[in-house]
Amino acid sequence: MTNQAINSNELYRVPKGCSWQCDLTNRVYIQFQETVAAFRLRDFFAFHRKVSAIDIHEMIYNLSDDFDFEIIEAPQQGVSLQLGLCELVQLRDLLDGTKFALKLNSMLHEALGTVSLV
């Protein structure tokens, strides 16, 4: 676990990485394998959409070498990853979980009004 993850608000964790929210910069951090990237929320949602749109079934069933890896890029965050099927599933899981945690936090804020959540 990185120091940032300990000191900030951890959102989600998978075996290959974790995510957390920084309240000072209003950024969502994604740490996956050796890569750490800070996303503005809008960019995070766009990145999530991009990763969700990858056709996993095509990667499984297409025997061509072209479908063994997928290149994932987020140029503004300096992210460029070449991921195999299992890694991609892990990343997707991390992003889905992060999105869920962000939405849950928002719902709690709405439901509890001005109560400060720790």
Partner 1 sequence: MKDLVRLHTSLTEEIEAALNDQCKMEAEASLKYLAMAAWLDRNGFDYSAGYLYAQAEEEREHFLKIFKYITEVGGVAITPTPNEVQQEFGSLRDVFETALQGEIAVTHSINRIVAKCRELNDYATEEFMMWYVREQREEEHNARRVMELFELIDANSSTGRFVLDEEISKVGRRVS
Q: Which parts of this chain interact with partner 1 (CB under 8 A)?
A: 9, 21, 23, 26, 28, 40-42, 45-46, 102-103, 105-106, 109-110, 117-118
Work out how close the CB of 44 gets to partner 1 at its nearest, in angstroms, rounded to a whole number: 9
Which residues are paired to 72 by β-bridges? Answer: 81
Please check whether residue 34 is in contact with residue 26, taking contact to mean a CB–CB distance below 8 angstroms. Answer: no
Work out how close the CB of 87 gets to partner 1 at its nearest, in angstroms, rounded to a whole number: 26
For residue 21, the one-letter residue type is Q
Pairwise CA distance, residues 12 & 53, whole Å: 21
Residue 85 or 97 with smaller CB distance to partner 1: 97
Residue 86 or 111 with smaller CB distance to partner 1: 111
Work out how close the CB of 82 gets to partner 1 at its nearest, in angstroms, rounded to a whole number: 26
Pairwise CA distance, residues 41 & 106, whole Å: 13
Residue 42 or 60 with smaller CB distance to partner 1: 42
Q: What DSSP line would sit under 47-59, residue for residue?
A: HHHHHHTS-HHHH
